[in-house]
A and B are shown apart, each in its own frame.
Chain A
Amino acid sequence: MLRSRTFQIAVPALIVMALLPLGVDGYILGLLTLAYYYAVFAMSWDLLFGFAGEVNFGPSFLIGIGAYTAALLNHYWLWPIPACLVAGAFAAVIAGAALAVPALRLTGPYFGLVTLVAVLLLQNMIVLFAGITGGEIGLDLPDVLSIDDNTNYYYALVFMTVSGAILFGLAQSPVGLILQASGQNATEAAALGFNVAKHKLAAFCISAFFSGLAGAMLIFYMGTASVGTVVDIAVGVNVIIAAVLGGRRTIIGAAVGAIFLIGAGELLRPLGQLATFVVSAVALVVILFFPGGFMGRILQSGGRE
């Protein structure tokens, strides 16, 4: 573990990130805070896709359920933030399980479609019950995590590090190997005596847990929950691009991809409308010419990973 490539790359990077608030201004910190939450979205997506081999087109369904559960509890019943976060995460797990139990019987494009439809339905419901949910405008929250940039930054950094470590550890564990086997050849994995459905369901629930928790944290950072930030298809698309760009089946790569994606979007802001075009073009080039993503090449040359 200590000698693995991932560890050698991750620790110095984390130290640099932890020291950043000493040298950069609040605006950049705010941007990175957002990027770290996206990193958790992308890492949980990678657990499901990279390891379990299931393409979830609707990561923002899980994110949105977590975020809106927390937001509604905080807005109407004034639950304290920690309670909202826990409730949001568990709501996402329950919704994820409700989606996954029937959906995992399906494969390939069908599974993808069901997850996509789930997002569209959630989005429609939120807009339809605008009186309760705030609709397109969003729901403002009485509480925020903190008003201090540095504190927010450290919350996000610690959250990303802990989630990343858990997801990475899980992916490297025997369970992760079983998942990987189920993803690559479900029949053979089942023939070896592993319960494929159970493992995939577990992966889905874990993915849902971290997505929901990150979604709930994100809205308490922003102070408002809106369709555009946590439910929209575009959010899910960004998560998928980040994970594939960073290198699937690496977990850490997904985080790198997410930070790159948010950073690039910001650097290209002077281009105006063309920024999205350029980011998509870069992502396309990476997919076509370096299918392993940013981290794929660095990590995979290191052996077991």
Chain B
Amino acid sequence: MLALQILIDGFAISSLYALGATGFTLIFGVSGVLNLSHGAIMVVAAVIAWWVAGTFGTGAYIGALAGVAAALACAFFTYRVIVRPIQDSGAIPKEEKEIFVLTGTLLWGIMLQEAVAYLFTDNPKTVRPLVEGVVMILGVRTPWNEILTAALSWGAIGLLYLLVNRTRTGKSLLAASMNPRGLTLLGFEMSNIYVLVWAIYGILAGIAGVLLGAFLGVSSGNAGTLTASAFSIVVLGGLGSVSGSLMAAYVVGYLETMTAYLVSPSIRTVPVLLLLVLVVYLRPQGLLGRR
């Protein structure tokens, strides 16, 4: 009974982690950017979905769409106004671009977080779920929303997989992560590819944010934790490796759920952190990382 409960809850939360981390690792794989405003963008998506659905009475679906659109807008802004100018800047030495992108996106994340706290207060908000009701799975009460969360997460990841492996545009993304110079020589415009990656990222982060808001609820104070958990999952799986991130998301999701149910919710994140330290020392390239 408890085992099944852990299995179901862990699966839902892990799928959500996987979705959140996929976008994060995609950006890193293709353009080498670690986006520290990730958590804040997810929070924006959830809060906008909550606000639109609640204030205008548009229903959960329009709200969710608005949330994803907001995340997309934030992602574009992050790229255009922060990441791109830093990468193009002649005043920043090449070896320091990374720290500038990190600091820049970190500051931008704090700005988003504070803006959300100012406009919508920092109380936790729960987005109205797309579907209501509960279902009994072998005696475990499971909200439909939890099942939908897992299904939608996997749906989005599946679409991404098809896009990357089956379409010409997607293959250019893959090529960009392997050899950007070669791709440029073939006549592809790198900046178009980066815009595309950020657009995909925005949509993925938006869906993840809205689902998280409906599943667990979100407050502006969560932004940092969300970024940290995406970062840890991605490093655990291997930076830039999407399949590694998916696997790591499940390791983290289940480890957290088991700790919360079997030991104590207050140390929920501790085993994950210890595992992370261990992996980084013993196998710095992560579970499935190359290099």
A contacts, CB < 8 Å to B: 49, 53, 55, 102, 105-106, 108-110, 112-114, 116-118, 120-121, 124, 127-128, 184, 233, 237, 240-241, 244, 248, 273-274, 276-277, 280-281, 283-284, 287-288, 291-292
CB closest chain-A residue, reference B268:
A124
Closest approach, in angstroms, between the C-beta of A279 and any C-beta of chain B? Answer: 9
Interface centre among A106, A113, A127, A274 (most CB of B within 10 A): A113
Closest residue of chain A to B110, judged by CB?
A280
Evaluate contact between B270 and A124: CB separation under 8 angstroms.
yes
Collect the chain A residues with CB atoms within 8 Å of residue B115's CB.
Answer: 277
Q: Are B100 and A287 in contact (CB-based, < 8 A)? A: yes
Given A128-B266, A237-B106: A284 touches B82 (CB 8 Å cut-off): yes
Partner of A274, one of B92, B98, B100, B118: B118
Which B residues have a C-beta under 8 Å from some C-beta of A?
A: 34, 82, 85-86, 89, 91-92, 95-96, 98-100, 102-104, 106-108, 110-111, 114-115, 117-118, 224, 228, 231-232, 235, 239, 266-267, 269-270, 273-274, 276-277, 280-281, 284
Q: Other CB < 8 Å A-B pairs besides A117-B280, A281-B107, 8 of them?
A: A114-B281, A121-B270, A241-B103, A277-B110, A284-B111, A287-B86, A291-B89, A292-B91
CB closest residue in chain B, given A54: B99
Of all chain A residues, the one with the shortest Cβ separation from B267 is A128
Q: List 27 A-B contacts (CB under 8 A).
A: A55-B99, A55-B102, A106-B280, A109-B34, A109-B239, A112-B102, A113-B235, A113-B276, A114-B280, A117-B232, A117-B277, A117-B280, A118-B277, A120-B228, A124-B270, A127-B266, A128-B267, A244-B100, A273-B118, A274-B114, A277-B118, A280-B107, A287-B86, A287-B103, A287-B107, A288-B104, A291-B92
Question: Contacts of B98 on A, CB cut-off 8 Å?
Answer: 55, 108-109
CB-based contact B270/A237 at 8 Å:
no
Contact B267 A124 (CB under 8 A): yes
Inter-subunit contact A287/B280 (CB<8 Å) = no
Given A109-B235, A116-B228, residue A288 in contact with residue B85 (CB < 8 A) = yes
